[in-house]
Each structure stands twice: as structure tokens, then as C-alpha cells.
Amino acid sequence: MADEDGSMSGSGSGKARRGPERRLGLTPARIIDAARELSHGRGLNSWTIRDLAAALDVAPSVIYHHVGGRDRIVRGVVERLLGELRPPSAELPWQEWFRTFFYSARPLFAPYPGVAKWLVMHGPTFPGIEAFLDAGISTLDRAGFPRPALVYAMLTNSAMLSITRNDDRLEAGDDGPRDHATMRRLFSGIGADSPGIGRMITEVLGPLSDDPEGGGEAIDAEYYRLLVESLIAGLETLLPTER
């Protein structure tokens, strides 16, 4: 039967029933799960509260009621991801401790653009993070670094900032195109006879622009490995020769 405004009362009541049913099963954990799914491959900044509400089939006000604003939801996504990492054993030599940490962090954070940058900007200020700080700083202290907390901060920030290199390419800006294909095209136009530019295109920009998920991912992983190994090798030269 049609209501006075022309809408069908049967259809409306069914829709009204579904809304409360969805809300009854909604929890902060489900909201964080949905936000994490929206962030995968697209980034923490790719969705709005309205997008999240639509994914959960609820009104935006329901999201605010259960969790709060977008900042709290993003924080929840980052905390969820970080919670999937386990600190390496504090008994490991410092080099192996940070290799284990960083090589397990990149595959977890890289598919969620913005997470690594959030950690750099806000710090991993979550319950349980003390296990990482205690183990990492203690292994640096045993190695003989006079300011192990500073070394810990430098290593972790450098690794996270390396992951964020591709994050900013997903965000529009008024500084021009940021994609690798455009960079490759512009380099080709100015360095046709340059062997250095030729190798940069062949070894780096080509795979990144032609096959981002295959050859490009391999380049990104190798770049990250070179960074981590260079940081560790460089810090080793700063240690006292007699410990």
C-alpha cells in the first residue's frame, strides 16, 4: 500500500527493520574492520565517514556513536595492524633484531598507504608497544651505543619513511603528476644520450611504471632492503672497536 507521500509502506518497513538489525550487530571492532578493508590498496585518506557508513549500511551518526570521529577510526586501523606484529627476541644481536622487525613490518604496512606515515607523525602510542621499545633499545644498549633510544628512533623512522614513498603518489596535489610513468617520460625526453638516465629508466622507472605489482614491487622491496642494510652497516662503523 502506498503512503500519503507515495512511498510503499511495505518496502519502507522492511528497510526500517534492516537498519536496526544492522545496528544491533555493530561494534567498534566491526567498524575498524570495515575501515581497514576500505584502506587496503587505497590508503587511510581514501575514504570518508559517509563511505564507511555506506559499507556498513548504517547512518554516519551510528559510526560517531560507536567509535567517534575519523581520527579515532584511523587510529584504530593503525593499532589493529601494529598489533599483528610481534617483537623479535631481545636476545638477538641488534642487527638481526632490526632486520627481523623491519622485514616483517613492510609486508604488513605497505598494502595500507598512510599507515607508516601515521606512525611517524603520531608515534606508535598504543598499549603493548613497550615490548618493542624495551627489546629494541636493550639490544642496542648491549651493543654499546651511548644513546640507544636515539638510534632506535632513527632506524624506525627511516624504515617507515621509506615505506611512505609511494603513499604520497596516491594523493592529488597541485605540484603536477607524481606517477612513475610521467617521470620516466620526462627523463626520456631530456636524456636520450645519457647512459645514467638510460639505466635509471631500465632498472628502476621501467619496472615501476610497466609492472607495478610485479617488477615494480620487486624494485620497492629491494630498495627497502638496501636501505635497511645500509643503515645497519653504517651504524656498525660508529660503535667503539672495543666493547
Residue 96 covered by a domain: yes
- Asked whether residue 142 falls in the same domain as residue 91, the answer is yes
Domain presence at residue 206: no
**The predicted structure's pLDDT at residue 172:** 57
Q: State which of 50, 81, 112 marks the end of a domain.
A: 81
* Residue 158 sits in the same domain as residue 109: yes
Q: What does the pLDDT read at residue 192?
A: 73
Q: Considering 81, 115, 134, which residue would you say is the last residue of a domain?
A: 81
Q: Name the residue among 168, 158, 173 with its Cα closest to residue 45.
A: 168
Instruction: Find the domain containing 77 and state its range.
Output: 10-81
Label residue 241 by pLDDT band (50, 70, 90).
confident
The proportion of the chain whose per-residue pLDDT surpasses 70, expressed as a percent, equals 85
33 shares its domain with 130: no
- Are residues 93 and 65 both part of a single domain? no
What CATH number has the domain bearing residue 24? 1.10.10.60
Q: Using an 8 Å Cβ cutoff, are 167 and 113 in contact? A: yes
Residue 77 domain flag = yes
* Count of domains for the chain: 2
User: In this structure, what CATH number is given to the domain that contains residue 95?
Assistant: 1.10.357
For residue 15, tell me if it sits in a domain: yes
67-80 average pLDDT score? 96
Residue 131 has pLDDT above 50, yes or no: yes
**Does residue 124 fall inside a structural domain?**
yes
Q: Across all residues in the chain, what is the average pLDDT?
A: 87
Of the candidates 237, 241, 236, the one whose C-alpha atom is nearest the C-alpha of residue 99 is 236
Domain boundary among the residues 27, 55, 81 is at 81
Residues 16 and 74 occupy one common structural domain: yes
> Is 127 inside any structural domain?
yes
Q: Answer yes or no: do 59 and 104 share one domain.
A: no
Predicted pLDDT at 47: 96
CA distance 174 to 180: 17
Give the distance from CA 102 to its chain's centroid: 13
More confident of the two residues 169 and 210: 210
pLDDT in tens, 11-52: 444 444 445 545 557 999 999 999 999 999 999 999 999 999
Mean pLDDT, range 204-215, rounded to an integer: 83
Bridge-partner residues for 8, per DSSP? 2
Q: Please write the tens of the pLDDT for every residue from 136-177.
A: 999 999 999 999 999 999 999 999 999 998 777 766 556 666
Task: Say yes or no: 59 and 110 in one domain.
Answer: no
Query: Is the per-residue pLDDT at 211 higher than 70?
Result: yes
Residues 119, 223 within the same domain: yes
Does the pTM surpass 0.85? The reply is: no
Sequence-distant contacts of 220-229: CB under 8 A, at least 24 apart: 220/110, 220/166, 221/106, 223/162, 224/102, 224/106, 224/159, 224/162, 224/163, 225/103, 227/158, 227/159, 227/162, 228/98, 228/99, 228/102, 228/103, 228/159
Write down the pLDDT at residue 170: 67
Residues 164 and 73 in one domain: no
Asked if residue 68 and residue 118 are part of one domain, the reply reads no
What average pLDDT does this structure show over 113-142? Answer: 96
Q: Does some domain include residue 17?
A: yes
Domain identity same for 133 and 228: yes
* Number of Cβ within a 10 Å radius of residue 112: 22
What cell numbers appear for 66 in the block? 560507536
Per-residue model confidence (pLDDT) at position 242: 60
Q: Are 143 and 94 in contact (CB under 8 A)?
A: yes
Q: Quick one: 75 and 96 in the same domain?
A: no
